[in-house]
Structure 1
Amino acid sequence: MERKKLPIGVSDFKKLIEENYYYIDKTGFIEEILEKKAEVTLICRPRRFGKTLNMSTLKYFLDRKNAEKNNQLFRGLNIEKSKYMAEAGKYPVIFLTMKGINGGNYSKFLQKFSSVLSDLYNDYEDLRESLNLKEKMYFDKVWLGEPDTDLTRALKFLSDIVYKYSGIKPVLLIDEYDSPMIVAHEKGYYEEVKELIGDFYGEALKDAPISFAVITGILRVAKEYIFSSLNNLKVSTLLTNNYNHFGMTEDEVETILKYYGLETELDLAKSWYNGYTFGNEKVYNPWSILNHCENGDLISYWVNTSANTLIMQLLKDADEDINDTFYELLRGGVARAILDDNMIFGEKYSDSTILYLMFSAGYLTIDRVGERRREYYLRIPNEEVKDYFRKTFVEIADSAGENSFSKLEEALLVGKIFGNNSVEAKINSMFQTSMSYLDGSKQEKFYHNLILGMMIGLDDKFYIHSNREEGLGRYDLALEPKSKSGIGYIFEFKVAVSSSEHDFDQAGAEALAQIDKKIYETGLRERGVEKIIKIGMVFASKVLKLYVK
Structure 2
Amino acid sequence: MKKDVLFMTGNEDFSTIIEKNAYYVDKTSYLKELFMSSSEVMNALFIRPRRFGKTLNLNMIKTFCELNYQNPGDKSYQQKLFIDNGRNLAVATGDYKELREKVMGEYPVISISFRGVEGNTFQTAVSGLLGIIAELYDRFLFLRESVKQSDERIKQFNAIYSFCTAKYNKLSDPDNLNEAIVICGSFLATLAEMLYREYGRKILVIIDEYDVPLQKAVIAKEPYYDDMLEIIRKISVTTFKQNPDPWLYKGIVSGCLRIAHQSVFTDANNFTTFGMNDEPYTGFFGFTNDETHKLLNDCGLSDKESEVKEWYDGYRFGNKHIFCPWSLISYCYAATQKDNTVPQPFWVNTSGNDLITMFTDNSMESHNAENIDKLQKLMEGENVNISLMEFTTYPDLRVGVSFDIFMTMMLHTGYVTFAEGAMLTDKVTVRIPNQEVLYCFNKKRELLFGENNPYWYNQALKLVDLLMANNTDEAQMLISTMLKEFLSIRNTGHELYYHGFMTGILGLATATKNFTYHEEIESGTGFSDIIIDSFDNKTACILELKKTENLEDCYDVADAATKQIIKKGYASKFISRRYKKVYGIGIGFAKKSCEIISLGNLVEVSANSKV
The TM-score normalised by the length of structure 2 is 0.69
Distance between the aligned counterparts of 1:92 and 1:434, measured in 2? 64
Q: Secondary structure at the match of 1:257?
A: helix
Q: CA deviation at 1:362?
A: 0.4
Distance between the aligned counterparts of 1:492 and 1:514, measured in 2? 20
User: What's the counterpart of residue 168 of structure 1?
Assistant: 201
Q: CA deviation at 1:179?
A: 0.8
Residue 392 in structure 1 maps to residue 444 in structure 2:
yes
Residue 73 in structure 1 maps to residue 81 in structure 2:
yes
User: Aligned-residue CA RMSD in angstroms?
Assistant: 3.8
Distance between the aligned counterparts of 1:537 and 1:327, measured in 2? 18
Q: Is the 8 A contact 1:337 1:352 kept in 2?
A: yes
Closer/same/farther in 2, CA of residues 445 and 119 from structure 1, 3 Å limit:
farther
User: What's the counterpart of residue 55 of structure 1?
Assistant: 58
Closer/same/farther in 2, CA of residues 510 and 374 from structure 1, 3 Å limit:
closer
Q: How many residues align?
A: 472
Instruction: Give matches, 1:500-515, under 5 Å.
Output: 514=553
User: What's the counterpart of residue 12 of structure 1?
Assistant: 13
Residue 251 in structure 1 maps to residue 279 in structure 2:
no
Q: CA deviation at 1:107?
A: 0.8
User: What's the counterpart of residue 329 of structure 1?
Assistant: 378
Select 1:375's aligned residue among 427, 430, 433: 427
Select 2:143's aligned residue among 121, 124, 127: 127
Q: Secondary structure at the match of 2:120?
A: coil
Select 2:228's aligned residue among 185, 190, 193: 193
Distance between the aligned counterparts of 1:63 and 1:179, measured in 2? 25
Name the stretch that deviates more: 135-144 or 180-189.
135-144
Q: CA deviation at 1:225?
A: 4.0
The TM-score normalised by the length of structure 1 is 0.77
| AA aligned opposite 2:92 | E
Q: Secondary structure at the match of 1:211?
A: strand
Closer/same/farther in 2, CA of residues 510 and 478 from structure 1, 3 Å limit:
closer
Q: Secondary structure at the match of 2:429?
A: strand
Closer/same/farther in 2, CA of residues 516 and 397 from structure 1, 3 Å limit:
closer
User: What's the counterpart of residue 460 of structure 2?
Assistant: 432
Distance between the aligned counterparts of 2:135 and 2:200, measured in 1? 24
Closer/same/farther in 2, CA of residues 492 and 354 from structure 1, 3 Å limit:
closer
User: What's the counterpart of residue 299 of structure 1?
Assistant: 344
| AA aligned opposite 1:451 | L
Q: Is the 8 A contact 1:365 1:378 kept in 2?
A: yes
Name the stretch that deviates more: 114-123 or 325-334.
325-334
Distance between the aligned counterparts of 1:180 and 1:21, measured in 2? 32
The C-alpha deviation readout for 1:406-435, integer Å capped at 9, x for no partner, is xxxxxxxxxxxxxxxxxxxxx996963899
Q: Secondary structure at the match of 1:194?
A: helix
Name the stretch that deviates more: 163-172 or 289-298.
289-298
Instruction: Give matches, 1:489-528, under 5 Å.
Output: 514=553
Q: CA deviation at 1:29?
A: 2.3
Name the stretch that deviates more: 504-513 or 356-365.
504-513
Distance between the aligned counterparts of 1:180 and 1:133, measured in 2? 34
| AA aligned opposite 2:212 | S
Distance between the aligned counterparts of 1:327 and 1:221, measured in 2? 29
User: What's the counterpart of residue 112 of structure 2?
Assistant: 96
Instruction: Give matches, 1:212-231, under 5 Å.
Output: 212-222=250-260, 224-231=262-269
Residue 205 in structure 1 maps to residue 277 in structure 2:
no
| AA aligned opposite 1:276 | Y
Name the stretch that deviates more: 345-354 or 45-54.
345-354
Q: Secondary structure at the match of 1:99?
A: coil
Select 1:286's aligned residue among 298, 305, 325: 325
| AA aligned opposite 1:88 | M
Q: CA deviation at 1:133?
A: 2.7
Q: Is the 8 A contact 1:339 1:376 kept in 2?
A: yes
Closer/same/farther in 2, CA of residues 490 and 249 from structure 1, 3 Å limit:
farther
Q: Is the 8 A contact 2:547 2:589 kept in 1?
A: no
Q: Is the 8 A contact 1:327 1:449 kept in 2?
A: no
User: What's the counterpart of residue 523 of structure 2?
Assistant: none
Q: CA deviation at 1:390?
A: 1.2
Q: CA deviation at 1:269?
A: 0.9
The C-alpha deviation readout for 1:453-475, integer Å capped at 9, x for no partner, is 4445xxxxxxx537xxxxxxxxx
Question: Which has the greater radius of gyration?
Answer: 2
Distance between the aligned counterparts of 1:228 and 1:465, measured in 2? 50
Q: CA deviation at 1:373?
A: 4.1
User: What's the counterpart of residue 525 of structure 2?
Assistant: none
Q: Is the 8 A contact 1:368 1:376 kept in 2?
A: no
User: What's the counterpart of residue 451 of structure 1?
Assistant: 483
User: What's the counterpart of residue 526 of structure 1?
Assistant: none
The C-alpha deviation readout for 1:439-496, integer Å capped at 9, x for no partner, is xx9685764453354445xxxxxxx537xxxxxxxxxx3259xxxxxx7779999xxx
Q: Is the 8 A contact 1:275 1:282 kept in 2?
A: yes
Q: Secondary structure at the match of 2:237?
A: helix
Select 2:156's aligned residue among 138, 154, 160: 138
Q: CA deviation at 1:242?
A: 2.5
Q: Is the 8 A contact 1:398 1:433 kept in 2?
A: no
Counting aligned pairs with the same residue, the percent is 25
Distance between the aligned counterparts of 1:372 and 1:62, measured in 2? 34
Closer/same/farther in 2, CA of residues 74 and 370 from structure 1, 3 Å limit:
closer
User: What's the counterpart of residue 24 of structure 1?
Assistant: 25
Q: Is the 8 A contact 2:372 2:485 kept in 1?
A: no
